[in-house]
Amino acid sequence: MISINLTLSILLYAIATGLLLKQWLSAKTGPNKLKLPLYIASVAVIFHAFTLMAVTFTAQGVDIGFFSALTFTAWLMATLLVIASFSQPIGCLGLLVYPFALVTLIFRGFSDQHHVLTDALAPGLQTHILFSLLAYSILSIAVAQAILLYIQDKYLHNKHPAGFLQSLPALETMQILLFRIIALGVIALSISLLSGFIYLDDMFAQHLVHKTILSLIAWAVFVVLLVGHYKFGWRGKIAIRWSLTGFTLLMLAYFGSKFVIELVLH
């Protein structure tokens, strides 16, 4: 069943990505044509969820290894995107999110790396982990939105908008969506950091200090960006640079340190 769910989710993500890519290259497209890949992606995240349940909650305990965490984050990103796409014009972000989910599933399927927790986590730590992954997922979508915004702005300035971009909302609407997503991600990241300081014994312990410092710097970067936007009107390339900087710091904080500790240092 694991292999069937895994294969189906990979296949469906690939089909949804292919349809979005075809529409990107097409001169004739519209919002209605984004519905089919969205429906396919909706089914993909369901099979992805079944796969996660099987590989994460094992008989030995909960697997929070590098690839399991990465796959869970990708599923969370895809799920949030699918849900939001039914009410917001951001379905085209699947061009970045769905391939990422597909790749993480492939790595999870072929990797034998695990980090199994045999003891049950306290509710406070569960809250910390959940909001950490939620923050990474939301802010990852924000970065995908920032990249799309950059492409849209570049094409509009060159006066050669691609067919796919013609179906997007106005540039100002896309920027409003970007900062709403970032604000939501900052809230989740704030809860994650606060719960960490409350429920972890020492957030600055040797094995956590780099994660804590990088996360705090990333949080500060996103907060400064929000303040700069709402007070000084920051947008465009400035917003994109700050978004990418904060995202990079956040990814290094969790997945960078997790990669070194689990895959390099074993």
Q: Are residues 89 and 142 in the same domain?
A: no
Q: Are residues 136 and 260 in the same domain?
A: yes
Q: Cα–Cα distance between 146 and 153 in angstroms, integer? A: 10
Lowest-confidence segment of 110-114, 117-121, 146-150, 244-248 by average pLDDT? 117-121
Q: pLDDT tens digit string along 15-37?
A: 999 998 888 777 555 555 668 89
* Domain annotation covers residue 118: no
> Quick one: pLDDT at residue 172?
80
* Domain annotation covers residue 2: yes
Q: Cα–Cα distance between 78 and 76 in angstroms, integer? A: 6
Whether 80 and 68 have beta carbons less than 8 Å apart is answered as no
Here the tokens at position 164 are 């796919």
Structural domain for 39, as ranges: 1-112
* Domain annotation covers residue 34: yes
Q: Are residues 150 and 63 in the same domain?
A: no
* Domain annotation covers residue 123: no
Q: Are residues 147 and 238 in the same domain?
A: yes
Q: pLDDT tens digit string along 169-212?
A: 777 888 888 899 999 999 999 999 999 888 877 776 656 788 88
Rounded to 10 degrees, the C-alpha dihedral 133/137/140/141 comes to -170
Q: Are residues 88 and 153 in the same domain?
A: no
* Domain annotation covers residue 171: yes
Q: Cα–Cα distance between 223 and 246 in angstroms, integer? A: 10
pLDDT, mean of residues 34-45: 92
